[in-house]
Amino acid sequence: MLSSSKKNRHILAIPWPASGHMPMIDVARQLGIRGITTTFAVTRKNLYYLNPLISLHDKTTIQTLVLPLPSHPSLPAGSENMQDVTQDYFLYMVEALSELHDPIMQWFKSPLAILTDVMLNTWTHSLASALGIKTIDFLPLSQHTAYNCWSDYQEMK
């Protein structure tokens, strides 16, 4: 397990903005049992999916950091969650979310690590590196789905 002083037992969680990826909160609950606080970085609209789950857990160990989703020219206005768009917008959502790098750097409160959805590791790993901390990748979907998502990404590069 992660080792650190009692005062610095904190992890920043960055979930993929889709309701099926919010089970990351169960990982946060397990960390909370071990005395580690988790802060979820989410957009305003994604609180809708996260708040009911947070209400089931110890609020002293699970917190939120609400950040505005940066606009992207290829995303429809107001889109903050994959329920707002089709899978065709996947890469644009990744690009928009990567713009949260600087706001998170400004917020930085010395987490032990970043618990990141694997869909976001194109930028969360560099964020963790810049902060001098580790990443813990979270993947709540089938290998088949992951393969299809990333093979499309590689073809577009």
pLDDT tens, residue by residue, 109-121: 777 899 998 888 8
Q: Which residues does the annotation mark as catalytic?
A: 21, 117
Residue 153, CB-side half-sphere exposure with 13 Å CA sphere:
18
Give the CATH fold of the 6-156 domain: Rossmann fold (3.40.50)
Alpha helices per DSSP H over the chain: 24-33, 47-54, 90-98, 101-107, 121-131, 143-156
Separation between Cα atoms, residue 56 and residue 67, nearest integer Å: 23
- Look at residue 4 in the predicted model and tell me its pLDDT: 44
Q: What are phi and psi of 81, to 5 degrees?
A: -145, 155
Q: Is the whole-model pTM more than 0.85?
A: no
Burial 64-95 (b: 16+ CB within 10 A, else e): bbebebbebeebeeebbbbebbeeebbbbbbb
Amino acid at 115: L
Structural contact between residues 34 and 7, judged by C-beta atoms closer than 8 angstroms: no
Q: Which tens digits make up the pLDDT trace of 59-75?
A: 788 888 898 888 899 99
